[in-house]
Structure 1
Amino acid sequence: MSLLGSAALAMWWDMAPEMKSEFEDWHSHEHFPERLGVPGFRRASRWTSATGDEGIFVLYELESYAVLSSDAYVSHLNTPTPWSARMMPHHRNMVRSQCHVLESSGSSAARHALTFRVSPLQDRDKDLREFFRTLCVDLVQRPGIVGAHLLRHQTPPIAETTEQRIRNSADRVADWVFVALGYEAPVLESLADADLAATALQASGAAEGAISGLYSLSHSATSEEFGQR
Protein backbone atom coordinates (compact mmCIF):
# COMPACT_ATOMS: atom_id res chain seq x y z
CA MET A 1 0.00 0.00 0.00
CA SER A 2 1.09 3.58 -0.62
CA LEU A 3 -0.20 4.92 2.68
CA LEU A 4 2.23 4.22 5.53
CA GLY A 5 0.29 1.39 7.13
CA SER A 6 -3.01 -0.44 6.93
CA ALA A 7 -5.13 2.07 8.87
CA ALA A 8 -5.79 5.80 8.97
CA LEU A 9 -7.53 8.47 11.00
CA ALA A 10 -9.39 10.98 8.81
CA MET A 11 -10.87 14.13 10.34
CA TRP A 12 -12.70 17.24 9.23
CA TRP A 13 -13.73 20.26 11.26
CA ASP A 14 -14.25 24.01 11.06
CA MET A 15 -11.86 26.49 12.66
CA ALA A 16 -12.91 30.14 13.09
CA PRO A 17 -10.63 32.61 11.22
CA GLU A 18 -9.62 34.42 14.42
CA MET A 19 -8.29 31.12 15.84
CA LYS A 20 -6.54 29.82 12.73
CA SER A 21 -3.09 31.30 13.41
CA GLU A 22 -2.85 29.92 16.94
CA PHE A 23 -4.43 26.65 15.85
CA GLU A 24 -1.78 26.04 13.17
CA ASP A 25 1.00 26.98 15.61
CA TRP A 26 -0.33 24.50 18.19
CA HIS A 27 -1.12 21.79 15.66
CA SER A 28 2.30 21.87 13.99
CA HIS A 29 4.54 22.49 17.01
CA GLU A 30 2.80 20.57 19.79
CA HIS A 31 0.05 18.31 18.48
CA PHE A 32 1.83 16.74 15.50
CA PRO A 33 4.95 15.82 17.55
CA GLU A 34 2.73 14.44 20.32
CA ARG A 35 0.64 12.28 18.00
CA LEU A 36 3.63 11.12 15.97
CA GLY A 37 5.26 10.07 19.23
CA VAL A 38 2.54 7.45 19.72
CA PRO A 39 3.81 4.04 18.52
CA GLY A 40 2.17 3.21 15.21
CA PHE A 41 1.52 6.79 14.04
CA ARG A 42 3.56 7.07 10.83
CA ARG A 43 2.59 10.30 9.04
CA ALA A 44 0.45 13.33 9.84
CA SER A 45 -0.86 15.72 7.17
CA ARG A 46 -3.02 18.83 7.53
CA TRP A 47 -4.86 20.65 4.77
CA THR A 48 -6.98 23.81 4.95
CA SER A 49 -9.93 24.70 2.74
CA ALA A 50 -8.92 25.66 -0.80
CA THR A 51 -12.13 27.63 -1.23
CA GLY A 52 -11.62 30.12 1.59
CA ASP A 53 -14.01 28.70 4.17
CA GLU A 54 -13.19 27.46 7.69
CA GLY A 55 -12.68 23.77 6.82
CA ILE A 56 -9.72 21.70 8.00
CA PHE A 57 -8.85 18.17 6.85
CA VAL A 58 -6.31 16.02 8.72
CA LEU A 59 -5.07 12.55 7.83
CA TYR A 60 -2.97 10.35 10.11
CA GLU A 61 -1.43 7.24 8.55
CA LEU A 62 -1.20 4.34 11.01
CA GLU A 63 0.72 1.11 11.15
CA SER A 64 -2.43 -0.88 11.98
CA TYR A 65 -6.00 -0.41 13.11
CA ALA A 66 -5.06 -1.60 16.63
CA VAL A 67 -3.18 1.68 17.16
CA LEU A 68 -6.53 3.47 17.51
CA SER A 69 -7.34 1.61 20.72
CA SER A 70 -3.79 1.27 22.05
CA ASP A 71 -3.03 2.31 25.61
CA ALA A 72 -0.52 4.91 24.42
CA TYR A 73 -3.00 6.64 22.12
CA VAL A 74 -5.98 6.47 24.49
CA SER A 75 -3.80 7.91 27.25
CA HIS A 76 -3.13 11.00 25.11
CA LEU A 77 -6.85 11.34 24.32
CA ASN A 78 -7.62 11.35 28.03
CA THR A 79 -4.77 13.63 29.20
CA PRO A 80 -4.68 16.60 26.81
CA THR A 81 -2.06 19.27 27.44
CA PRO A 82 -3.22 22.69 28.67
CA TRP A 83 -2.76 24.12 25.16
CA SER A 84 -4.72 21.23 23.64
CA ALA A 85 -7.50 21.70 26.18
CA ARG A 86 -7.71 25.38 25.22
CA MET A 87 -7.86 24.59 21.49
CA MET A 88 -10.29 21.65 21.54
CA PRO A 89 -13.50 23.70 22.01
CA HIS A 90 -12.69 25.53 18.77
CA HIS A 91 -12.84 22.29 16.74
CA ARG A 92 -16.40 22.77 15.47
CA ASN A 93 -18.53 20.30 13.48
CA MET A 94 -16.06 17.47 14.02
CA VAL A 95 -16.17 14.45 11.70
CA ARG A 96 -13.73 11.79 12.88
CA SER A 97 -13.36 8.45 11.10
CA GLN A 98 -11.11 5.65 12.38
CA CYS A 99 -10.44 3.65 9.26
CA HIS A 100 -9.11 0.53 7.64
CA VAL A 101 -7.29 1.22 4.37
CA LEU A 102 -9.16 -0.59 1.59
CA GLU A 103 -7.27 0.71 -1.46
CA SER A 104 -4.17 2.87 -1.82
CA SER A 105 -2.27 4.05 -4.89
CA GLY A 106 0.43 6.67 -5.34
CA SER A 107 1.46 9.38 -2.89
CA SER A 108 -0.18 10.30 0.40
CA ALA A 109 0.74 14.00 0.53
CA ALA A 110 0.48 16.65 -2.17
CA ARG A 111 -0.41 20.32 -2.66
CA HIS A 112 -4.15 19.61 -2.83
CA ALA A 113 -6.52 16.98 -1.44
CA LEU A 114 -10.02 16.24 -2.69
CA THR A 115 -12.06 14.27 -0.16
CA PHE A 116 -15.37 12.46 -0.58
CA ARG A 117 -17.41 11.08 2.33
CA VAL A 118 -19.76 8.39 1.06
CA SER A 119 -21.83 5.41 2.22
CA PRO A 120 -22.61 2.26 0.24
CA LEU A 121 -26.17 1.24 -0.45
CA GLN A 122 -27.33 -1.94 1.24
CA ASP A 123 -25.72 -4.99 -0.40
CA ARG A 124 -23.65 -2.79 -2.75
CA ASP A 125 -20.39 -2.74 -0.77
CA LYS A 126 -18.54 -4.93 -3.25
CA ASP A 127 -19.72 -2.89 -6.22
CA LEU A 128 -18.67 0.39 -4.64
CA ARG A 129 -15.29 -0.95 -3.59
CA GLU A 130 -14.59 -2.22 -7.11
CA PHE A 131 -15.56 1.19 -8.52
CA PHE A 132 -13.07 2.93 -6.22
CA ARG A 133 -10.39 0.25 -6.70
CA THR A 134 -10.43 0.82 -10.44
CA LEU A 135 -10.53 4.58 -9.96
CA CYS A 136 -7.52 4.55 -7.61
CA VAL A 137 -5.41 2.69 -10.17
CA ASP A 138 -6.53 4.97 -13.01
CA LEU A 139 -6.25 8.34 -11.30
CA VAL A 140 -2.58 8.13 -10.35
CA GLN A 141 -1.71 7.93 -14.06
CA ARG A 142 -3.44 11.21 -14.89
CA PRO A 143 -1.57 14.52 -15.16
CA GLY A 144 -2.15 16.64 -12.07
CA ILE A 145 -2.96 13.71 -9.76
CA VAL A 146 -0.45 11.75 -7.68
CA GLY A 147 -2.43 9.64 -5.20
CA ALA A 148 -5.83 8.04 -4.52
CA HIS A 149 -6.93 6.19 -1.40
CA LEU A 150 -10.09 4.52 -0.08
CA LEU A 151 -10.77 4.13 3.66
CA ARG A 152 -13.61 2.50 5.62
CA HIS A 153 -14.63 3.57 9.12
CA GLN A 154 -14.97 1.19 12.05
CA THR A 155 -15.56 2.48 15.58
CA PRO A 156 -12.82 1.17 17.92
CA PRO A 157 -13.79 -0.35 21.30
CA ILE A 158 -12.93 2.62 23.54
CA ALA A 159 -15.06 4.81 25.80
CA GLU A 160 -15.73 8.50 25.24
CA THR A 161 -12.49 10.40 25.80
CA THR A 162 -11.60 13.58 27.65
CA GLU A 163 -10.88 15.34 24.35
CA GLN A 164 -14.37 14.50 23.10
CA ARG A 165 -15.93 15.86 26.30
CA ILE A 166 -13.91 19.08 26.00
CA ARG A 167 -15.20 19.56 22.44
CA ASN A 168 -18.67 19.26 24.00
CA SER A 169 -20.28 17.67 20.96
CA ALA A 170 -20.67 14.18 19.57
CA ASP A 171 -18.19 13.37 16.80
CA ARG A 172 -19.82 12.42 13.53
CA VAL A 173 -18.22 9.82 11.25
CA ALA A 174 -17.77 9.34 7.55
CA ASP A 175 -18.65 5.77 6.57
CA TRP A 176 -16.27 5.47 3.60
CA VAL A 177 -13.62 8.05 2.74
CA PHE A 178 -12.07 8.63 -0.67
CA VAL A 179 -9.06 10.94 -0.95
CA ALA A 180 -7.47 12.05 -4.22
CA LEU A 181 -4.20 14.03 -4.06
CA GLY A 182 -2.58 16.18 -6.68
CA TYR A 183 -0.69 19.29 -7.71
CA GLU A 184 -3.39 20.76 -9.99
CA ALA A 185 -6.52 21.90 -8.16
CA PRO A 186 -8.66 22.24 -11.33
CA VAL A 187 -7.93 18.61 -12.23
CA LEU A 188 -9.12 17.45 -8.83
CA GLU A 189 -12.16 19.73 -8.97
CA SER A 190 -13.15 18.23 -12.30
CA LEU A 191 -13.45 14.79 -10.69
CA ALA A 192 -16.52 15.98 -8.81
CA ASP A 193 -18.22 16.76 -12.11
CA ALA A 194 -17.11 13.60 -13.96
CA ASP A 195 -15.75 10.41 -12.36
CA LEU A 196 -17.24 11.26 -8.95
CA ALA A 197 -20.44 12.96 -10.04
CA ALA A 198 -23.53 11.98 -8.03
CA THR A 199 -24.90 9.89 -10.90
CA ALA A 200 -21.63 7.95 -11.27
CA LEU A 201 -21.38 7.28 -7.54
CA GLN A 202 -24.97 6.13 -7.21
CA ALA A 203 -24.72 3.89 -10.27
CA SER A 204 -21.68 2.28 -8.62
CA GLY A 205 -23.44 1.55 -5.34
CA ALA A 206 -23.19 4.74 -3.27
CA ALA A 207 -26.09 6.22 -1.37
CA GLU A 208 -27.23 9.77 -2.06
CA GLY A 209 -25.66 12.60 -0.09
CA ALA A 210 -21.90 12.24 -0.70
CA ILE A 211 -19.96 15.21 0.73
CA SER A 212 -16.88 16.54 -1.01
CA GLY A 213 -14.26 19.16 -0.20
CA LEU A 214 -11.07 20.56 -1.72
CA TYR A 215 -8.14 21.40 0.55
CA SER A 216 -4.60 22.82 0.27
CA LEU A 217 -1.62 21.39 2.15
CA SER A 218 -0.54 23.23 5.29
CA HIS A 219 1.90 20.77 6.90
CA SER A 220 2.94 17.13 6.55
CA ALA A 221 5.43 15.23 8.70
CA THR A 222 6.49 11.67 9.50
CA SER A 223 7.33 10.11 12.85
CA GLU A 224 11.01 9.94 11.85
CA GLU A 225 11.13 13.73 11.54
CA PHE A 226 10.34 14.02 15.25
CA GLY A 227 12.82 11.32 16.25
CA GLN A 228 10.24 8.52 16.54
CA ARG A 229 10.27 5.08 14.91
Structure 2
Amino acid sequence: MSLLGNAALAMWWDMAADQRSEFEHWHSHEHFPERMAIPGFRRGTRWASATGGEGIFQMYELDDYGVVQSAAYLERLNAPTPWSTRMMPHHRNMVRSQCRVLASAGGAVARHALTIRLSPGPDSHARLQVALSDRLNTLAAQPGLVGAHLLRHETPPIATTREQQIRGSDRVADWVLVIVGYDLDALRTVQTTEFSATALQALGADGGALGELHELCHSAARADVT
Protein backbone atom coordinates (compact mmCIF):
# COMPACT_ATOMS: atom_id res chain seq x y z
CA MET A 1 0.00 0.00 0.00
CA SER A 2 1.60 3.25 -1.14
CA LEU A 3 -0.86 5.70 0.37
CA LEU A 4 -0.32 6.23 4.10
CA GLY A 5 -3.13 4.00 5.27
CA ASN A 6 -6.12 2.08 3.96
CA ALA A 7 -8.58 4.97 3.61
CA ALA A 8 -8.73 8.49 2.27
CA LEU A 9 -10.89 11.59 2.18
CA ALA A 10 -11.08 13.01 -1.35
CA MET A 11 -12.68 16.43 -1.84
CA TRP A 12 -13.22 18.89 -4.66
CA TRP A 13 -14.68 22.39 -4.47
CA ASP A 14 -14.50 25.83 -6.07
CA MET A 15 -12.96 28.83 -4.31
CA ALA A 16 -13.47 32.30 -5.79
CA ALA A 17 -10.36 34.32 -6.60
CA ASP A 18 -11.23 37.08 -4.13
CA GLN A 19 -11.28 34.51 -1.30
CA ARG A 20 -8.20 32.53 -2.37
CA SER A 21 -5.58 34.37 -0.29
CA GLU A 22 -7.46 34.07 3.01
CA PHE A 23 -8.52 30.52 2.19
CA GLU A 24 -4.94 29.37 1.63
CA HIS A 25 -3.79 31.06 4.85
CA TRP A 26 -6.62 29.45 6.85
CA HIS A 27 -6.33 26.05 5.20
CA SER A 28 -2.55 25.79 5.64
CA HIS A 29 -2.17 27.33 9.09
CA GLU A 30 -5.36 26.42 10.96
CA HIS A 31 -7.23 23.71 9.07
CA PHE A 32 -4.32 21.40 8.26
CA PRO A 33 -2.96 21.41 11.84
CA GLU A 34 -6.46 20.84 13.22
CA ARG A 35 -7.17 17.89 10.94
CA MET A 36 -3.72 16.33 11.26
CA ALA A 37 -4.06 16.36 15.06
CA ILE A 38 -7.01 13.95 14.79
CA PRO A 39 -5.94 10.33 15.47
CA GLY A 40 -5.70 8.39 12.22
CA PHE A 41 -4.96 11.35 9.93
CA ARG A 42 -1.58 10.69 8.30
CA ARG A 43 -1.07 13.26 5.54
CA GLY A 44 -3.02 16.04 3.84
CA THR A 45 -2.35 17.41 0.35
CA ARG A 46 -3.99 20.30 -1.46
CA TRP A 47 -3.88 20.96 -5.21
CA ALA A 48 -5.35 23.82 -7.25
CA SER A 49 -6.65 23.68 -10.81
CA ALA A 50 -3.85 23.31 -13.35
CA THR A 51 -5.98 24.94 -16.02
CA GLY A 52 -6.58 28.29 -14.33
CA GLY A 53 -9.99 27.60 -12.84
CA GLU A 54 -11.27 28.02 -9.30
CA GLY A 55 -11.13 24.31 -8.46
CA ILE A 56 -9.41 22.85 -5.41
CA PHE A 57 -8.64 19.16 -4.84
CA GLN A 58 -7.81 17.94 -1.34
CA MET A 59 -6.87 14.45 -0.17
CA TYR A 60 -6.32 13.24 3.38
CA GLU A 61 -4.66 9.86 3.83
CA LEU A 62 -6.06 7.93 6.81
CA ASP A 63 -5.08 4.88 8.82
CA ASP A 64 -8.37 3.11 8.12
CA TYR A 65 -11.99 3.74 7.22
CA GLY A 66 -13.04 3.96 10.86
CA VAL A 67 -11.37 7.37 11.12
CA VAL A 68 -14.13 9.04 9.05
CA GLN A 69 -16.71 8.15 11.72
CA SER A 70 -14.50 8.44 14.78
CA ALA A 71 -15.56 10.50 17.78
CA ALA A 72 -12.51 12.76 17.47
CA TYR A 73 -13.23 13.59 13.81
CA LEU A 74 -16.95 14.11 14.34
CA GLU A 75 -16.20 16.43 17.26
CA ARG A 76 -14.25 18.73 14.92
CA LEU A 77 -16.87 18.54 12.15
CA ASN A 78 -19.60 19.56 14.60
CA ALA A 79 -17.64 22.33 16.35
CA PRO A 80 -15.92 24.37 13.62
CA THR A 81 -13.75 27.26 14.74
CA PRO A 82 -14.92 30.84 14.08
CA TRP A 83 -12.48 31.08 11.16
CA SER A 84 -13.68 27.76 9.73
CA THR A 85 -17.29 28.88 10.12
CA ARG A 86 -16.49 32.00 8.13
CA MET A 87 -14.69 30.08 5.36
CA MET A 88 -17.07 27.13 4.91
CA PRO A 89 -19.72 29.03 2.87
CA HIS A 90 -17.03 29.84 0.30
CA HIS A 91 -16.51 26.13 -0.45
CA ARG A 92 -18.78 26.03 -3.49
CA ASN A 93 -19.89 22.90 -5.37
CA MET A 94 -18.41 20.60 -2.74
CA VAL A 95 -17.84 16.95 -3.64
CA ARG A 96 -16.67 14.97 -0.62
CA SER A 97 -15.99 11.23 -0.65
CA GLN A 98 -15.06 9.06 2.34
CA CYS A 99 -13.11 6.29 0.66
CA ARG A 100 -11.58 2.89 1.11
CA VAL A 101 -8.33 2.39 -0.79
CA LEU A 102 -8.83 -0.40 -3.32
CA ALA A 103 -5.33 -0.29 -4.84
CA SER A 104 -2.28 1.95 -4.63
CA ALA A 105 1.09 2.12 -6.39
CA GLY A 106 3.99 4.55 -6.21
CA GLY A 107 4.01 7.98 -4.59
CA ALA A 108 1.03 9.99 -3.41
CA VAL A 109 2.40 13.54 -3.76
CA ALA A 110 3.85 15.17 -6.87
CA ARG A 111 3.81 18.50 -8.70
CA HIS A 112 0.65 17.60 -10.62
CA ALA A 113 -2.32 15.31 -10.20
CA LEU A 114 -5.04 13.94 -12.44
CA THR A 115 -8.25 12.98 -10.67
CA ILE A 116 -10.94 10.97 -12.42
CA ARG A 117 -14.38 10.57 -10.85
CA LEU A 118 -16.27 7.59 -12.20
CA SER A 119 -18.82 4.90 -11.43
CA PRO A 120 -18.98 1.24 -12.42
CA GLY A 121 -21.50 0.24 -15.02
CA PRO A 122 -24.27 -2.24 -14.15
CA ASP A 123 -22.81 -5.52 -12.89
CA SER A 124 -19.27 -4.31 -13.71
CA HIS A 125 -17.85 -3.57 -10.26
CA ALA A 126 -15.48 -6.54 -10.09
CA ARG A 127 -14.38 -6.29 -13.72
CA LEU A 128 -13.65 -2.57 -13.46
CA GLN A 129 -11.75 -2.91 -10.18
CA VAL A 130 -9.51 -5.63 -11.61
CA ALA A 131 -8.91 -3.71 -14.83
CA LEU A 132 -7.97 -0.47 -13.07
CA SER A 133 -5.93 -2.12 -10.32
CA ASP A 134 -3.89 -4.05 -12.90
CA ARG A 135 -2.91 -0.77 -14.57
CA LEU A 136 -1.69 1.11 -11.49
CA ASN A 137 1.85 -0.28 -11.27
CA THR A 138 2.41 0.36 -14.97
CA LEU A 139 1.09 3.90 -14.63
CA ALA A 140 3.31 4.68 -11.64
CA ALA A 141 6.39 3.66 -13.63
CA GLN A 142 5.66 5.65 -16.78
CA PRO A 143 7.89 8.63 -17.66
CA GLY A 144 6.46 11.76 -16.08
CA LEU A 145 4.31 9.85 -13.56
CA VAL A 146 5.12 8.62 -10.05
CA GLY A 147 1.96 7.15 -8.53
CA ALA A 148 -1.60 5.95 -9.12
CA HIS A 149 -4.34 5.15 -6.61
CA LEU A 150 -7.88 3.77 -6.78
CA LEU A 151 -10.44 4.79 -4.14
CA ARG A 152 -14.06 3.78 -3.57
CA HIS A 153 -16.56 5.92 -1.68
CA GLU A 154 -18.64 4.44 1.13
CA THR A 155 -21.15 6.57 3.01
CA PRO A 156 -20.58 6.28 6.78
CA PRO A 157 -23.62 5.89 9.05
CA ILE A 158 -23.39 9.35 10.64
CA ALA A 159 -25.71 12.33 10.85
CA THR A 160 -25.21 15.49 8.81
CA THR A 161 -22.48 17.51 10.51
CA ARG A 162 -22.40 21.20 11.35
CA GLU A 163 -19.77 21.87 8.66
CA GLN A 164 -21.99 20.24 6.04
CA GLN A 165 -24.95 22.32 7.20
CA ILE A 166 -22.93 25.51 6.76
CA ARG A 167 -21.76 24.55 3.26
CA GLY A 168 -25.05 23.12 2.05
CA SER A 169 -25.48 19.72 0.46
CA ASP A 170 -22.25 17.87 -0.41
CA ARG A 171 -22.16 15.55 -3.40
CA VAL A 172 -20.00 12.42 -3.58
CA ALA A 173 -17.74 10.81 -6.15
CA ASP A 174 -18.40 7.07 -6.37
CA TRP A 175 -14.95 5.80 -7.41
CA VAL A 176 -11.84 7.96 -7.71
CA LEU A 177 -8.60 7.55 -9.62
CA VAL A 178 -5.75 9.76 -8.40
CA ILE A 179 -2.70 9.77 -10.69
CA VAL A 180 0.26 11.97 -9.75
CA GLY A 181 3.36 13.01 -11.64
CA TYR A 182 5.94 15.68 -12.38
CA ASP A 183 4.99 16.16 -16.05
CA LEU A 184 1.64 17.79 -16.76
CA ASP A 185 1.71 16.71 -20.40
CA ALA A 186 2.13 13.07 -19.37
CA LEU A 187 -0.96 13.33 -17.19
CA ARG A 188 -2.85 15.08 -19.96
CA THR A 189 -1.99 12.22 -22.32
CA VAL A 190 -3.28 9.64 -19.82
CA GLN A 191 -6.47 11.67 -19.43
CA THR A 192 -7.18 11.75 -23.16
CA THR A 193 -6.10 8.21 -24.11
CA GLU A 194 -6.14 5.16 -21.83
CA PHE A 195 -8.31 6.86 -19.18
CA SER A 196 -10.64 8.87 -21.36
CA ALA A 197 -14.36 8.45 -20.69
CA THR A 198 -14.64 6.18 -23.73
CA ALA A 199 -11.70 4.00 -22.68
CA LEU A 200 -13.06 3.71 -19.14
CA GLN A 201 -16.44 2.60 -20.46
CA ALA A 202 -14.69 -0.20 -22.34
CA LEU A 203 -13.24 -1.34 -18.99
CA GLY A 204 -16.67 -1.41 -17.34
CA ALA A 205 -17.25 2.17 -16.17
CA ASP A 206 -20.54 3.96 -16.59
CA GLY A 207 -20.62 6.98 -18.90
CA GLY A 208 -19.75 10.45 -17.71
CA ALA A 209 -16.35 9.98 -16.07
CA LEU A 210 -14.93 13.38 -15.11
CA GLY A 211 -11.19 14.05 -15.27
CA GLU A 212 -9.45 17.17 -13.92
CA LEU A 213 -5.84 18.30 -13.76
CA HIS A 214 -4.36 19.91 -10.65
CA GLU A 215 -1.12 21.51 -9.45
CA LEU A 216 0.39 21.09 -5.99
CA CYS A 217 -0.14 23.83 -3.39
CA HIS A 218 0.74 22.27 -0.04
CA SER A 219 1.32 18.85 1.53
CA ALA A 220 1.90 18.06 5.20
CA ALA A 221 2.20 14.97 7.37
CA ARG A 222 1.24 14.96 11.03
CA ALA A 223 4.74 15.80 12.27
CA ASP A 224 4.93 18.81 9.93
CA VAL A 225 2.04 20.74 11.46
CA THR A 226 1.33 19.37 14.94
TM-score range, shorter chain: over 0.9
| More displaced stretch, 24-33 vs 187-196 | 187-196
Asked whether the equivalents of residues 197 and 210 of structure 2 are also in contact (C-alpha less than 8 Å), the reply is: no
Shift of 1:127: 1.0
Q: Deviations over 1:130-151 (max 9, x none)?
A: 1111221111111100000000
Mapped to 2, the partners of 1:89 and 1:212 lie a distance apart of 25
Matched residue, 2:223? 224
Tell me the residue number matched to 2:146: 146
How many Å separate the matches in 2 of 1:90 and 1:20?
A: 10
Alpha-carbon distance in structure 2 between the residues aligned to 1:106 and 1:97: 22
Corresponding residue for residue 180 of structure 1: 179
Task: Name the residue aligned to 2:25.
Answer: 25
Look up the match of 2:161: 161
Instruction: Name the CA distance, whole Å, in 2 between partners of 1:154 and 1:198.
Output: 23
Number of equivalenced pairs: 226
Bigger Cα displacement from structure 2, 130-139 vs 74-83: 130-139
RMSD between superposed Cα atoms in Å: 0.6
Instruction: Determine the structure 2 residue equivalent to 1:193.
Output: 192
Give the unaligned 5+ runs of structure 2. Answer: none
Q: Once the two structures are superposed, what CA deviation does each residue of 1:153-172 show, in whole Å capped at 9, x if it has no partner? A: 001111000001111x2100
Deviation per residue, 1:76-118 (Å, 9 max, x gap)? 0000000000000000000000000000000010000100000
Q: What is the match of residue 2 of structure 1?
A: 2
Partner of 1:212: 211
Query: Which residue identity does 2:81 align to in structure 1?
Result: T
Supply the distance in 1 between the matched residues of 2:49 and 2:128 (Cα, whole angstroms).
Answer: 27
Partner of 1:202: 201
Q: Answer with 137-146 or 87-96: which moved more.
A: 137-146
Structure 1 equivalent of residue 96 of structure 2 = 96
**Matched residue, 1:53:** 53
Question: Post-superposition shift, 1:41?
Answer: 0.2
| Distance in 1 of aligned mates of 2:73 and 2:191 | 35
Q: Distance in 1 between matches of 2:196 and 2:215?
A: 21
Instruction: Point out the more displaced range, 129-138 or 169-178.
Output: 129-138
Q: Secondary structure at the match of 1:187?
A: helix
Question: How far, CA to CA, are the matches of 1:211 and 1:193 in structure 2?
Answer: 11
Amino acid at match of 1:138: T
Q: Normalization by structure 2: what TM-score?
A: 0.99
In the alignment, residue 140 of structure 1 is paired with which amino acid?
A
**Aligned residue number for residue 65 of structure 2:** 65
Aligned residue in 1 for 2:115: 115
Q: Which runs of 5 or more structure 1 residues have no equivalent in the other structure?
A: none
Q: Is the 8 A contact 2:101 2:150 kept in 1?
A: yes
Relative to the length of structure 1, the TM-score reads: 0.98
Partner amino acid for 1:181? V
- Mapped partners of 2:32, 2:225: distance in 1: 9
